Structure 1
């Protein structure tokens, strides 16, 4: 006889990413899931699709005393909603990016500490088994210290997110554009691999993506302390690929997400040595993220991406946007306002 779910997870906002979180927390078998959605038609459709209860307001949902919540509203509302949930003692998984401004981050951090709740930011690459295995190999010292990181990524956004013209993506103020939507995942992964950024300079432009004016192509140079880095990303090419190469003192390692492998090479002229994994469906990765978050709620492990780490990537996002406007290098501050 199967056990009853041990957690009540409330998903706040069930647009495409919120619906995915709802489905994937259900997929863990460890959660009863409910939702909050202010759009009546969407609320009813998603509630019926997954046979869950839907609420029109956060206050109504909080009366049911959820264990944890996923904050999946547009990014400029993340901190407001997260603070309401934290006040009620609810553990938090906040969608990326953490916000569109650093205002209120310090206050949320202090509130989380006072309430003694778990708070993570949903940067899903930190739940990726292939990238995690490569990170462990780097951290072991097997290849020496990292000295350079190069990330090259792209996909055809209309294929994977056909509603992008109508959602938050169309406006930077709500977390839109390639920097805050897609590149932020890669910047966070880079910080996970080689440490936080200290400086960056960025260039971005709207090149091809129809129906919006926000940037769809970004080039960014950075320093993660002594590690030099470059990031290139677009949201209009045909190949769906993510390649992150870390050059170390005694070898080079490479993550190829689309091939479900990481590779290493230590001898000039040698072939790549492949560490291959079974192909991952997209939901599989989000189910793994949900499981790891529930483990953190149960105090079995830390969250995969802490509030502090999410705040560091938020500062990188904002610095990249500022650099695009100023055409100048930006120094990243250590503290949020």
Structure 2
């Protein structure tokens, strides 16, 4: 059993706690500063070890630390966990600024501990299969990538007005909270974003001022891209489409399937459909991270890849605020 400390007992922390338990491979403990919440989760998941602070938790020997706090706390906590000898899984996004990134890389080099960032699309078998098909050259060279996504955020996160989401500085807003997942997946499929333009606004969500609607135009080297996302529409839908020289492929997150089309004027053909419940991706993600620790397999999303997506997040925010094209470097 891999001794695993979950840091943060909010919505995503509770999910990681539950899903690491479900792997059957982890002995899970919790670090949560809120005493009432810590007690509730202790009872709900029959935890035998809990801690009120990371300092207290790291006095014990843990193999892995899963950092599920607001994003501006990720980097210092990751460094602290590495220095304590643990491998780390950091929730997305990697951070909200570039502050401390060099020191994190130095800690990774010094400790030689495995590290991964929790962009959960990379655990989806549909995205994995679609990437393998694109990389094989089956559809030719990618030339364009598009995404249209939206959901009614209050339905899935009813406490959004009371958590990190209310401020960009803590990782809030549609860009850092939701669009970052799609951008990271897109970069994995067709390569890193090199420049972009964006528009964003707060349109609907009550009780917050951060953006809930965003449109982005991207360049991934020679590949053109566009991304549209909101967090207030009634249907929960997400389509990510890659247009190649000899065909097109599409991932539908809301239907857990991927499609292809190669004949002009033809209908989409279903390549694979996957039966997945909401926790399944996070269990797969937990298993993949435990594999990194046990077997030395490659992380699903490296810190370097997450840093690239962080630079894109920051460029989208800048482009939306300044209404101009921004180079990602």
Please indicate the TM-score interval, normalised by the length of the shorter structure.
Answer: over 0.9
Unaligned runs of at least 5 residues, structure 1: 1-5
How many angstroms apart in 1 are the aligned matches of 2:71 and 2:217?
A: 25
Match for residue 24 of structure 1 among 2, 19, 23: 19
How many angstroms apart in 2 are the aligned matches of 1:191 and 1:299?
A: 26
Matched, 1:318 2:324: no
How many angstroms apart in 2 are the aligned matches of 1:244 and 1:115?
A: 37
1:7 counterpart residue number: 2
Superimposed CA distance per residue, residues 250-300 of structure 1 (whole angstroms, 9 cap, x where no aligned partner): 111111111121111111022222123233111001000000000011134
2:265 counterpart residue number: 269
Match for residue 38 of structure 2 among 30, 40, 43: 43
How many angstroms apart in 2 are the aligned matches of 1:69 and 1:106?
A: 20
How many angstroms apart in 1 are the aligned matches of 2:204 and 2:143?
A: 34
How many angstroms apart in 2 are the aligned matches of 1:59 and 1:30?
A: 25
* 1:245 Cα deviation after fit: 0.5
2:125–2:274 CA contact under 8 A, matched in 1? no
Matched, 1:78 2:74: yes
Moved >6 Å (runs of 4+): none
Answer with 57-66 or 201-210: which moved more: 57-66
2:256–2:275 CA contact under 8 A, matched in 1? yes
2:117–2:302 CA contact under 8 A, matched in 1? yes
How many angstroms apart in 2 are the aligned matches of 1:279 and 1:117?
A: 34
1:278 counterpart residue number: 274
Alignment of 1:289-300 (within 5 A): 289-300=285-296
Match for residue 218 of structure 1 among 189, 214, 219: 214
What TM-score, normalized by structure 1, do the two folds share?
Answer: 0.96
What TM-score, normalized by structure 2, do the two folds share?
Answer: 0.98
2:196–2:325 CA contact under 8 A, matched in 1? yes
Matched, 1:233 2:229: yes
Matched, 1:64 2:60: yes
1:259–1:279 CA contact under 8 A, matched in 2? no
Match for residue 135 of structure 2 among 134, 139, 163: 139
How many angstroms apart in 1 are the aligned matches of 2:119 and 2:311?
A: 15
How many angstroms apart in 2 are the aligned matches of 1:115 and 1:44?
A: 33
How many angstroms apart in 2 are the aligned matches of 1:101 and 1:149?
A: 26
2:178 counterpart residue number: 182
Unaligned runs of at least 5 residues, structure 2: none
Q: Please state whether the residue corresponding to 1:21 is helix, strand or coil.
A: helix
The alignment's C-alpha RMSD in Å is 0.8
* 1:30 Cα deviation after fit: 0.1
1:207 counterpart residue number: 203
